[in-house]
Amino acid sequence: MKFIQFLITLFIFQMSTAQDTIWIQVETPLGNMTGFLYNETPQHRDNFIKLTGEKFYDSLLFHRVIPDFMIQGGDPNSKNAAPGIALGMGSPGYMVPAEFVDSLAHVKGAIAAARSNNPEKKSSGSQFYIVGGRPVAPTELSLQEFKHKFKYPDSVKTEYAELGGVPFLDHDYTVFGKITEGLDIIDKIALASADSRNRPVENIWMKISIISK
């Protein structure tokens, strides 16, 4: 059954053009989120589509939640993980090359790839986080531009002003998607009671699917 679902997802993707937008739904016990994947980061987009088609993410946990920052999941070791077990080191066995785009930033709702420390800033093959964030001052954006030698488009500056986010992660972690509906669910998950490792005391599972929009 999983293989059939994967073939269906792959067929939908192959029938689309480069301009088409791939929409996703993230179901959780605290509510659902809807968003899309950026075509500007094709390797991350295609990898996420592949894993979603394989039902890789279904029943995995949001294993790290930090208010005003982000919620993280996608560790395959989190499936059926016993309470209190440390999570965050699992992967599908590969990494994805970094894809930094000036116009794709860590504003609230951004979907970005987690990673371990590595000089090429390659992403985890499966772990991702969704940005919650906090109000952002213009000086923070100026510091990031100076540090990484790039320029934020005006549209990104406006988003940071309206939504907030965590700009200090820009150009260090790849942003490959964005939640557009259910931003309040990010906050609900982030505020869940958690242990000293930021793992929610009560498991918060996920189910991710490709949807039409």
Q: CA-to-CA distance for 134 and 165, rounded, in angstroms?
A: 5
Q: Which of 5-14, 26-35, 122-131 has the lowest mean pLDDT?
A: 5-14
pLDDT at residue 17 tops 50: no
Predicted TM-score (pTM) of this structure: 0.91
Kind plus residue range of the DSSP H or E element containing 139: helix 138-148
Q: Please say if the pLDDT value at position 176 is more than 90.
A: yes
Q: Give every CB contact of residue 45 below 8 A, 6+ residues apart in sequence.
A: 22, 37, 38, 39, 176, 177
pLDDT computed for residue 7 by the predictor: 52
User: How many whole angstroms separate alpha carbon 194 and alpha carbon 202?
Assistant: 8
* pLDDT greater at residue 17 or residue 199: 199
Write down the mean pLDDT value for the chain: 93
For the chain, which domains are there?
Answer: 2-10+23-211 (2.40.100.10)
Taking residues 126-151, what's their average pLDDT? 96
> Distance between CA 5 and CA 27 in Å, rounded?
17
pLDDT tens-digit map of 80-115: 999 989 999 999 999 999 999 999 999 999 999 999
* 43: nearest Cα among 156, 148, 120, 155: 120
Q: Are 187 and 132 in contact (CB under 8 A)?
A: yes
